[in-house]
Amino acid sequence: MSAQTDAPGSVTTVYQVSGMSCGHCEGSVSGEISGIAGVTSVKAVASTREVTVVSAAPLDEDAVRAAVDEAGFELVDKA
């Protein structure tokens, strides 16, 4: 996971998600993460296994992990 601050009041975080392989996977993950309070945009890319999330403030990683789990995938921990 990596995070950076973009505009004042917004944070962009890139997560690695295992198991995504198609557009349907991308939609499932994006839909679940979009439901987290404060999220303003989500872009999932199956080919890179990356999910880029823009939010009003840093997100609780447990909330993101739960959303990814709910979609049927796994948030990859950083070593």
Q: Rounded to two decimals, what is the model's pTM?
A: 0.86
Per-position DSSP letters for 3-60, written without gaps between them: EEE-STT-EEEEEEEES--SHHHHHHHHHHHHTSTTEEEEEEETTTTEEEEEESSPPP
pLDDT tens, position by position, 36-58? 999 999 999 999 999 999 999 99
What architecture (CATH level 2) is domain 2-75? Answer: 2-Layer Sandwich (3.30)
Share of the chain above pLDDT 70, in %: 87
* Domains in the chain: boundaries: 2-75
Looking at residues 14-31, what average pLDDT do you find? Answer: 96
Looking at residues 28-35, what average pLDDT do you find? Answer: 98
Helix (H) / strand (E) element for 75: namely strand 74-75
